[in-house]
Amino acid sequence: MRPLLQRISAMISAYARLIEPTHVGGLKISCSLCEFPFLVVLARGEMGIRCPRCRASVVHMSMAHVLNAHCDSLSKFAVYELSSRGPFVTYLRRSCMNLKVSEFWPDLSPGQWRNGIQCQNVERLTYADESFDLCTSTEVFEHVVDDLIGFREIRRVLRSGGVFIFSVPLRLDERTLERAALIDGEICYLEEPEYHDDLLRGAGKVLAYRTYGFDITDKLLEAGFSKAIIDTSATEYFNGLGRPLIVATV
Ligand SMILES: [Zn+2]
């Protein structure tokens, strides 16, 4: 294992673009993924906080924080995560019994493979009914054309008692704002288009079809989940910077 200073210096090089020198510091909060006892602050806001050991972001640490609170037997779980790399995938791989990961490539059919990763479209997953105990995703559903169909698909592949834990950009004091829709194959913009960064596609490349509000839980109930809540426990844990996450139970 590399010495801590080497890790921090490698991380600072990797995130040089982010750094705001006047805000660099540390937080005595342990990483929910690797349990490292403090976090590095590189800049203001959520994206400025990282674990120096596993490089997890606050979004991923929030996910692990809430997941650990809701799933006490992760080591016996079959899990599906809707991405294929990064510290959260590494954490799931070592924590659960069985992990399936995927990416979405519009030019591949669901179920096809690229570089060892399976393509899945959450609106028509190729997995059998009741395949998983837990599904997770971070910053995916705001990009799904028909999110109700996507939520129904996640519900379908979860077993009885299964849990779906995920993050999306969320405004807790507003209703969901639909930003765009796909009509006869054409994107119709209802609001100023908003594009997000993507690890595979690059910065500002993926259209956000909506910005979710507190009513996201209604849509999960409509999709067939028996219970859906917004869990804000990570917000408090990470000095107000953690993410509120959605926890839906079959
Ligand atoms: Zn960590």
Compute, in angstroms, the gap from residue 199 CA to the centroid of ligand 1. 19
Compute, in angstroms, the gap from residue 54 CA to the centroid of ligand 1. 4
Compute, in angstroms, the gap from residue 182 CA to the centroid of ligand 1. 39
Number of neighbours of residue 231 by Cβ within 10 angstroms:
17
Q: What gap in Å lies between CA 116 and CA 85, rounded to an integer?
A: 12
Compute, in angstroms, the gap from residue 32 CA to the centroid of ligand 1. 7
Compute, in angstroms, the gap from residue 50 CA to the centroid of ligand 1. 8
DSSP one-letter string for 59-81: HHHHHHHHHHHH-TTGGG-EEEE
Q: Read off the pLDDT band of 11 (50, 70, 90).
A: confident
Residue 5: the pLDDT is: 77
CATH of domain 60-249: 3.40.50.150
| Inter-residue contact 85 to 138 (CB < 8 Å) | no
Residue 1 has pLDDT above 70, yes or no: no
pTM: 0.90
Compute, in angstroms, the gap from residue 178 CA to the centroid of ligand 1. 35
Q: What gap in Å lies between CA 230 and CA 33, rounded to an integer?
A: 21
User: pLDDT for 117-140, tens place per residue?
Assistant: 999 999 999 999 999 999 999 999
Q: What gap in Å lies between CA 214 and CA 82, rounded to an integer?
A: 23
Residue 169 has pLDDT above 70, yes or no: yes
Is pLDDT larger for residue 238 or for residue 231?
231
Q: What gap in Å lies between CA 228 and CA 214, rounded to an integer?
A: 11
Is pLDDT larger for residue 149 or for residue 43?
149
Phi, psi of 220 (to 5 degrees): -70, -35
Provide CATH 3.40.50.150 ranges for the chain.
Answer: 60-249
Q: What is the mean pLDDT of the chain?
A: 91
Q: What's the rounded mean pLDDT across residues 105-125?
A: 96
Residue 199: the pLDDT is: 67
Residue 243: the pLDDT is: 94
Q: For residue 156, what is the DSSP state?
A: H
Compute, in angstroms, the gap from residue 91 CA to the centroid of ligand 1. 9
The rounded Cα 181 to chain-centroid distance in angstroms is 22
171, containing H or E segment: strand 170-171
